[in-house]
Amino acid sequence: MHSSDNVTARARLGRLMNALLRRVLLSDSFVLFLAVAYFLVLWVFVPRLGSARNLSNLSSNIWPLFVLVIGQMFVLIIGGIDLSQTSIMAIASVCGALLMTSGLDPALFARNPLWGVLISEQGGPLAGSVAAVPIGILAMLAIGALIGLANGVAVAKCRMPPFMVTLVSMFFFSGLAIFITRSENVTNLPAGFLAIGQSYIGHVPAGRSSVGLMPYSFFAGVALASIAWFVLGRTIAGRWFYAVGMNRRAAAVSGVPTDRVIVFAYTISGFCAALGSVLYSSRLGAGRPTLGANVLLDVIGAAVIGGISLYGGKGKVRWAFYGVLFFVVLDSSLYMLNLRFYTVNIVKGVVILMAALLDVLRNRARMDRTPTASMELA
């Protein structure tokens, strides 16, 4: 009697665990759970992972990447891809820096094509001006949006494949960024600009010094995420993004201005890339012609891990955030493990592969719940 009770209790517990596992696996926040679980497990082995300093570091790594992924998400939702984000970052970075810098080394820049025209030993056109920082940032954002607009027009109006279009602009603008700086970093940026990426709000003591809690980039990220959430979830344009991504022809037949929607998506992506450029450049303290050279795969990887489909029509701001969180936590933990560069890449690849496998499992579990098209139901 007693033992059979025990058996049923165990069976019930098993069923409960099973149901819980399914819930977690099918949950919208699955990637978040995954990131948290990964963090907790690694924390046991590497206590430093949970230190105030590292958390502060994580927080300042998350937001610039998040900004880029949000932009990429818009393009992925309409069924495109934007490879040019990194070169937009580079060109915006050097252009903004050349405008704002207050001093250039003639030894490095004298052979620059712009020397004597726009820039001199005293820096760029906005050097020393009070308005240098706001105008510089606006110029950077405008450059990003314009390049995105050009990408969008080429894709929508000229019907060119997005991969080709953005690949070409990736090459072109990263080349241009190197050309106009002769491959030199542009330094001596205004203190106000540097504060964006290097200052924190709220400090906690850590050892002898203290570390910041929330970098300014946090606010940029949250503001952008809120706007993106609003646009995708609450506006007509948001519905159109998804519709175009799911079936461009059907959307066009239904009266959706598909060309405008596509151009808009690429413009947003360009804008977000430039905003990311502001955050990265200020943290770096320089305009760098190769800024973002290694970020592209992080952006697309984070988006895909978050669950944003490369085939279009699927994506949420939350998912983008979870993907970024997972990626940044992964990166930071591997760095903490003191692995060598190539080992980091190997481990990163394996972890991403596991995440992708889990995603397949999730989709299969979801399929089991909803009938597929081939099954005809009354």
Partner 1 sequence: MSEPVLLFEHISKSFFGARALHDVTLAVQPGCVVGLIGENGAGKSTLMNIFGGVLQPDEGRMCLRGRPYRPAGPADATAAGIAFIHQELNLFGNLSIADNLFIDGFPRIGRTPLIHRRQAMQRAEEALAAVDLNVSPKTRIDRLTPGHKQLVEIAKALHRGARIIIFDEPTTSLTSRETHRLFSLIERLRRDGCTILYISHALADVLQLADEIVVLRDGQVVQTGPKEQFDIDTMIGAMVGRRIDQLYPTRRNAPGDRVLMSVCRVTEPGVVKDISFDLHAGEVLGLFGLMGSGRTEVARILFGLDCFQSGTITTGGPSRRRRSVRASVDGGMAFVTEDRREEGLLMEASVTDNMALVALPRYRRRRLLGTFNQRALRRTVDEMVGTLKVKCVDPRTDAVKNLSGGNQQKAVIGKWLLAEPVIGIMDEPTRGIDIAAKYEVYSIINDLADRGAGVLCISSELEELTGICDSLLVMSRGRICGRFRRSEFDEERILAAAFEGHIEHETRNESGAPN
Q: In the complex, which residues of this chain contact partner 1 (CB under 8 A)?
A: 231, 234-237, 239-240, 242-243, 246-247, 249-257, 313-314, 369-378
Q: Which is nearer to partner 1, 213 or 231 (CB)?
A: 231
- Nearest distance from C-beta of residue 246 to partner 1, angstroms: 4
- Nearest distance from C-beta of residue 234 to partner 1, angstroms: 5
Q: Which residues sit opposite 201 in a β-bridge?
A: 214
CA 218 to centroid of chain Cα atoms: 13
Q: Which is nearer to partner 1, 51 or 247 (CB)?
A: 247
- Nearest distance from C-beta of residue 23 to partner 1, angstroms: 17
Tokens 């980091």 belong to: 344
- Nearest distance from C-beta of residue 365 to partner 1, angstroms: 14
- Nearest distance from C-beta of residue 369 to partner 1, angstroms: 8
Contact assessment for residue 148 and residue 268, using Cβ atoms and an 8 Å cutoff: yes
Q: Which residues sit opposite 203 in a β-bridge?
A: 212
Q: What type of residue is 360?
A: V
User: How far, in Å, CA of 303 to CA of 321, rounded?
Assistant: 8
Q: Which is nearer to partner 1, 125 or 313 (CB)?
A: 313
Contact assessment for residue 213 and residue 56, using Cβ atoms and an 8 Å cutoff: yes
H/E element holding 232?
Answer: helix 216-234
- Nearest distance from C-beta of residue 188 to partner 1, angstroms: 40
User: How far, in Å, CA of 95 to CA of 142, rounded?
Assistant: 11
CA 103 to centroid of chain Cα atoms: 32
User: How far, in Å, CA of 40 to CA of 26, rounded?
Assistant: 21
Q: Which is nearer to partner 1, 213 or 252 (CB)?
A: 252
DSSP structural state of residue 257 = -
349: number of Cβ within 10 Å: 10
- Nearest distance from C-beta of residue 235 to partner 1, angstroms: 4
- Coil, helix or strand at residue 252: helix
Q: Which is nearer to partner 1, 258 or 277 (CB)?
A: 258
Q: Which is nearer to partner 1, 6 or 254 (CB)?
A: 254
Q: Which is nearer to partner 1, 205 or 255 (CB)?
A: 255
- Nearest distance from C-beta of residue 66 to partner 1, angstroms: 23
User: How far, in Å, CA of 355 to CA of 89, rounded?
Assistant: 28
Q: Which is nearer to partner 1, 7 or 360 (CB)?
A: 360
Q: Which residues sit opposite 214 in a β-bridge?
A: 201
DSSP structural state of residue 309 = -
Question: In Å, how far are 135, 149, 288, 378 from 285, measured between CA atoms?
Answer: 17, 28, 9, 64
